[in-house]
Amino acid sequence: MDSCLPRLMGVVSRPEHVKPSMTVSNGNLLVIDDQAQRAKRLADMLAGHGFDCQIVTDVANASYSLGWDSGIDVILCELGLQDISWVDARQALRKMDVQVPVIMFSEVAEVEPMMNALRLGAADFFLRPVEEPALLKSLERCVRQRRLQRDLQESQQSLRAANTELRGTVKMLEQDQQAGRQVQMRMLPGSPMVLNGYEFSHTMIPSLYLSGDFTDYFTLGESHVIFFLADVSGHGSSSAFATVLLKNLFARKRSDYSRRGDDTIMSPVAMLKRANRELLGLGVDKFATMVVGLLDMERNSLRYSVAGHLPLPVLVVGDKASYLQGEGATVGLLEDAVYSEAHLALPEHFTLALFSDGVLEILPQRNLIEKEQYFLSVFERCNGAPDALEKALGLDQVKAAPDDIAALYLRKLGRDE
């Protein structure tokens, strides 16, 4: 019997496809029968119902692709092919993953061959003479299932290709984000920066690769330092771009002060107004809360403005901590936003801490009032020391922050520090 199998297996031995007809067809059929006249009668009848039929009478020398992408919709095969056992052949075809449905025909009503054919995968079975309506209904069902199967396979292939492309795109985006994060980190000022007994330092914990929080500080002339902390709405690239705009704004105005004597940078209120106009002009629906301060190291005094920022700056003197007061509109929302400036004579030794609101997300308390009270108590326990403060707040243990967290510290050091 094994010597007979290659004759039928020759039907699927080479990857030559039978392409669907360019005209409208009810289905592409392959009629396999070693009796040419019987095969032609069946093919002619089916052609009259709109099917495209091809006939194979020499099984040993025929070759067609019968995989999922084959253009053949249904095979109509005679059960009693000479020298070929359908049982053995169908088992061989099943191992070859033939996807085209097969309808079997027989001249003799023998129960065992019929049941074996159906059990081994035949889609239907007909005794001759064939009832034409029943055959057409079976063909319609097989063609519909075959085309759905082909569409599903094509969709799966397209999905796999799309997933491969998507993975490549995601990898590229991750690389871009990582590169962007490195650039953003390099935009931050040196930490710590010590000048005339004052120390500036900062901490940044992004929730994603890129952060919408940013801080900066730099000298103006011999006796002043300008600093700010900004918390841009949202996360990711667009928010990070807005921080670049703010960084650039302060750098430009610093240059204008040095080169042209433009003293806009010396006014926290004026800088908030400029930041408000530039964020509005950016047209990306981004706004930011900010704190801008100007330290006068010669007079040990501070001028600052708050733009909708929470938590408010915290001033720690000894073991006492208190919020600095200030209010103003968020930057980037209103064209006619109003800001105010506060003046503060600083004590001989102090710590001034500015945090973005991401720190409130990691505090254990349930409401804002309790969080703010707890926040102050932590400052008092730590005497304003940045390292101890961050440890007490749990910042040193944060692996994945729910929101960006930024902190800026300004300290007036004692002689022994």
Higher pLDDT, 330 or 25: 330
Mean pLDDT of all residues in 371-396: 88
Instruction: State how far the alpha carbon of 209 is from the alpha carbons of 18, 75, 234, in Å.
Output: 52, 57, 13
Look at residues 143, 159, 175 and tell me which one is the last residue of a structural domain.
159
Residue 15: is its pLDDT beyond 50?
A: no
Same-domain check for residues 30 and 77: yes
Residues 32 and 40: beta-carbon distance below 8 Å: no
Does some domain include residue 274?
yes
CA-CA distance, 374 to 314, in Å (whole number)?
12
Instruction: Tell me whether residue 165 is in a domain.
Output: no
Sequence-distant (6+) residues with CB within 8 A of 333 are: 280, 287
Query: Do 150 and 195 share a domain, yes or no?
Result: no
CA distances from 392 to 106, 378, 399 (A): 86, 7, 16
Shared domain for 151 and 197, answered yes or no, is no
What whole-number distance in Å separates Cα of residue 357 and Cα of residue 137?
69
| HEC profile of 71-101 | CCCEEEEECCCCCCCHHHHHHHHHHCCCCCC
Q: Where among 104, 139, 159 does a domain terminate?
A: 159
Dihedral angle, C-alpha 102, 106, 112, 113, nearest 10 °: -50
Question: What is the C-alpha to C-alpha distance for residues 12 and 327, in angstroms, rounded to an integer?
Answer: 80
Average pLDDT over residues 241-269: 92
Amino acid 284: pLDDT: 77
Does the residue 401 lie in any domain? yes
**pLDDT, tens digit, for every residue of 155-177?**
888 899 989 888 887 788 777 76
Average pLDDT over residues 63-79: 79
- Are residues 205 and 149 located together in one domain of the fold? no
Please indicate, yes or no, whether residues 197 and 61 belong to a single structural domain of this protein. no
Mean pLDDT within 296-311: 95
The reported pLDDT for the residue numbered 321 is: 92
Q: CA-to-CA distance for 330 and 306, rounded, in angstroms?
A: 9
Provide the 8-state DSSP code for 333. Answer: T
Number of domains in the chain: 2
Q: What is the pLDDT of residue 217?
A: 95
Q: Residues 138, 153: contact at Cβ < 8 Å?
A: no
Residue-range definition of the domain harbouring residue 103:
2-159
Least confident range from 65-79, 241-255, 318-332, 357-371: namely 65-79
pLDDT at site 139: 94
End-to-end CA gap in the chain: 97
What CA dihedral angle connects 105, 11, 28 and 68, to 10 degrees?
Answer: 110
pLDDT at 178: 73
Residues 129 and 219 in one domain: no
Identify any residues that bridge with 289 across adjacent strands, giving them in sequence order.
Answer: 231
Q: Which of 169-173, 258-262, 324-328 has the lowest mean pLDDT?
A: 169-173
Per-residue pLDDT at 110 exceeds 60? yes
Does 170 fall in a domain? no
- The token pair that represents 69 in the structure block: 């992408």
Residue 215 placed within a domain: yes
Is the pTM above the cut of 0.75? no
User: Do residues 208 and 142 both lie within one domain?
Assistant: no
CA angle 403, 409, 414 (to 5 degrees): 155
* 272: pLDDT strictly greater than 80: yes
Q: Is the pLDDT of residue 192 over 70?
A: yes
pLDDT of amino acid 243: 87
In a shared domain, residues 260 and 360: yes
Contact present, 113 and 152 (Cβ < 8 Å)? no
Q: How confident is the model at residue 58 (pLDDT cuts 50, 70, 90)?
A: confident
pLDDT of 255 above 80: yes
Instruction: Tell me, yes or no, whether 65 and 213 share the same domain.
Output: no
Residue 417 lies in a domain: no
Residue 177 lies in a domain: no
If you average pLDDT over every residue of the chain, what do you get? 84
Helix-strand-coil split of the chain, %, nearest 5: 40, 25, 35
pLDDT band of 205, cuts 50, 70, 90: confident
Q: Are residues 130 and 220 in the same domain?
A: no
87-91, 132-136, 310-314: segment of lowest average pLDDT: 87-91
β 124-127/102-106 pair status: parallel
**Residue 144 belongs to domain with CATH number:** 3.40.50.2300
Which of 85-89, 108-112, 403-407 has the least mean pLDDT? 85-89
Residue 55 has pLDDT above 50, yes or no: yes
Identify the CATH number of the domain in which residue 247 sits. 3.60.40.10
- Measured in degrees and rounded to the nearest 5, phi and psi for residue 88 equal -70, -40
pLDDT band at 67 (very low <50, low <70, confident <90, very high): low
State whether 252 and 116 are in the same domain.
no
Is 118 among the domain residues? yes
The two three-digit tokens of residue 107, written as one number: 């001249």
One domain for residues 332 and 380: yes
What is the Cα–Cα distance from 102 to 83, expressed in whole angstroms?
19
Q: Which of 159, 178, 198 is the last residue of a domain?
A: 159
The C-alpha atoms of residue 361 and residue 260 are separated, in whole angstroms, by: 43
